[in-house]
Chains A and B, each alone.
Chain A
Amino acid sequence: MSRESDFYLRRLHSLLGIIPVGLFVAQHLVINHFATRGPEAFNNASNFMGNLPFVLFLEWFIIYIPLLFHGFYGVYIAFTANNNVQRYGTFRNWMFMLQRITGVFLVVFIAWHIYQTRIQKALGADVDYDMMADILANPFMLAFYIAGVVAATFHLANGVWSFLVSWGITQSPRSQQIVTYVSMVIFLILTVIGVQALFAFV
């Protein structure tokens, strides 16, 4: 299965996970947080983002293309691993496995999320506060979205850690340990922002 270009594809996968996909996820969760200020604030923010100049270009080149590559190449990476946390139950080995589990789950979640929002918009629906409130009124959907947000923030926070290792920025065990703590803080902050926004629709 492996090919000669694997090294470059891996590096590209690592880079795209942070720039632009990771930055977009953080931005998306922050914009969602307008919902905590009420439906009107959310609709204004949503309209602003949805009516940016060159929005289709921005969507394709900042979101869809990088995300598709990161997602599908990531699934390939996830299924080439033989996880062995029962043999080595170390923190990093668990993170290794969870990164792959959340990644595969996110492919399913994001596909569904895009179908429910962006594709519905293309079919004529309005993406606004009411649309999300309708979706999240279903308790199963609320649970699914909470799982999706937590998986995304985990995958991003842990991805920041492995990005810094893969690009050779953090080499010493000490620097890697400190970035582990930093990534935990990123995870907690983004999770609070994301989940608060979800409950603002309920």
Chain B
Amino acid sequence: MSENNTAVQEREQQTAQKTVRFEIRRQDTADSQPYWESFVLDYRPNMNVISALMEIRRNPVNADGKKTTPVNWEMSCLEEVCGACSMVINGRPRQSCTAIVDQFTQPIKLEPMKTFPVVRDLVVDREFMFDSLKKIKAWVPIDGTYDLGEGPRMPERKRQWAYELSKCMTCGVCLEACPNVNDNTNFMGPALLSQVRLFNTHPTGAMNKDERLATLMTDGGIGECGNSQNCVVACPKGIPLTTSIAAMNRATNVQMFKNFFGSDHMVD
């Protein structure tokens, strides 16, 4: 009993003494001017950025003691598989659900991923990526007017390897990290190039691989990659993005020569 009491007391002391300072880049509407606002919160063991934002929402008072509006952000899975809570924390894009406060130097700066249009505060609109997924046909087409039956079998080792590529959650961190994804280009970004590799690897998906490669060879496609290799450093899922890009470089180049010199059989 006495041991437990000491532990509780220690925890209460910790909580009472320590505070955490946040500096948040806020923006009230999509068109309004951004501004910075600071918040000081009581420290709690194991707190992360999301729990801190929840605390601010519960009691929206800034560091000057003035009442303010709650900070807006997006979240869903809270286990780093959905990508919704991505934001720039202390200068680097990542998911805020796995951003443990203890691992950051203070003040902790939160910014939206400005590569995308800011909707409000930390909320951005990642529709650009979803549109790009449609452009590259990031799916395996099996719909028809009759049962197409079973597809070709996928070798198990290939399936295990492709699973790594399938971990992409379209979070946008690699686009935020890439120097070539900006207003000057229409570059769709590293994640999308890797998705083409994933769906072209699938035995049924490979039946349309020339269509996906054709998209990579248009405006905003693989030609825009400048090999800074930030994407592979930034990816929270450890996807081998630069290997995917180099593989797609080879595939698009082969396709380019096939298109010009080859026969009318584009797929094989």
Contacts and interface: CB of A to CB of B under 8 A. Distances in A.
Interface string B232-268: 0110000010110111111111101000000000000
| Minimum-distance CB pairs A-B, first 8 | A168-B250, A96-B228, A7-B223, A10-B223, A168-B249, A92-B229, A80-B184, A171-B246
Interface string A1-44: 11110111111000000000000000000000000000000000
Nearest to B183: A82
Contacts of B184: 1, 79-82
Interface residues of B, number: 40
Nearest to B232: A173
A178 to B, nearest CB: 14
A141 interface: no
Contact of B249 (A4, A96, A167): A167
B180 interface: yes
Nearest to B254: A168
Nearest to B252: A7
Nearest to B251: A168
Interface string B129-166: 00000000000000000000000000000000000000
Nearest to B244: A171
A120 interface: no
Given A81-B179, A81-B180, A90 B253 contact: no
B177 A2 contact: no
Nearest to A84: B179
Interface of A: 1-4, 6-11, 77, 79-84, 86-88, 90, 92-93, 95-97, 162, 165-173, 176
Interface of B: 91-92, 177, 179-180, 182, 184-186, 216-230, 233-234, 240, 242-243, 245-254, 256
19 contacts: A2-B185, A2-B186, A4-B218, A8-B217, A8-B256, A11-B253, A81-B180, A82-B182, A82-B184, A87-B91, A88-B177, A88-B234, A90-B229, A96-B226, A162-B227, A167-B249, A168-B249, A168-B250, A169-B250
Contacts, number: 112
Contacts of A162: 226-227
Pick the most buried of A77, A90, A92, A168: most chain B CB atoms within 10 A of its CB.
A168
Nearest to B217: A7
Given A1-B185, A84-B177, 15 more contacts: A2-B224, A6-B224, A7-B217, A81-B226, A86-B91, A88-B233, A90-B229, A90-B233, A93-B228, A97-B179, A165-B227, A168-B253, A168-B254, A169-B250, A172-B243
